[in-house]
A and B are shown apart, each in its own frame.
Chain A
Amino acid sequence: MSDPSKGGSQTIVPAEPASHRRESSTKEKAWEEQTLAPTLERSPERQSGFTTISNYPVRRLYTPTNLADWSPERDLGYPGEPPYTRGIHSTMHRGRLWTMRQFAGFGAAEDTNQRFRYLLAQGQTGLSTAFDLPTLMGYDSDHPLSEGEVGKCGVAISSLADMEVLFDQIPLADVTTSMTINSPAAIIWAMYLAVAEKQGADWKKISGTLQNDILKEYIAQKEYIYPPEPSMRLVIDTFEFGVKNTPKFNTISISGYHIREAGSTASQELAFTLRDGLEYVEWGMRRGLDVDEFVPQLSFFFNAHSDFFEEIAKYRAARRIWNKAMVERYKAKNPRTWALRFHTQTAGCSLTAQQPYNNVVRTALQALAAVLGGTQSLHTNSLDEAWALPTEFAATIALRTQQIIAHETGVTNTVDPLGGSYFVETLTNEIERGAWDYIEKIDALGGMVAAIERGYPQREIAEASYRYQVALDKKEKIMVGVNDYVSQEKPLDTLQIDETVAHRQAERLRKLRADRSSDEVARRLAALRKATKSKDNLMPYIFEAVKSYATLGEICDAMRETFGTYEEVAIT
Chain B
Amino acid sequence: MRFALSKIAHGLLLILGVTLISFTLMVWFGPDQTYSLVGKNATPEQIAEIRHELGYDQPFARRYGGYLAQLFTLNLGASNSSGEPVSQILKRTVPVTLALMIPGFVLGNLLGIALGLLSAQHKGRWIDRLVTGLSVTGMSISFLVIIIFLQVLLSTPYGLNLFPVRGWQVDDPGSYLRYVAVPTLSLVFVTLGYNTRFYRAVFVEESGRDHIRTARAFGASTATILWKHVLKNSMVPVLTRIMFSIPLVVISGSLLIESYFGIPGVGKVTFDAITSGDQPVLKAVVGLTAVAFVLIQILTDFIYKLVDPRIA
Are chains A and B native binding partners rather than an unrelated pairing?
no
Interface residues of B, Cβ cutoff 8 Å to A: none
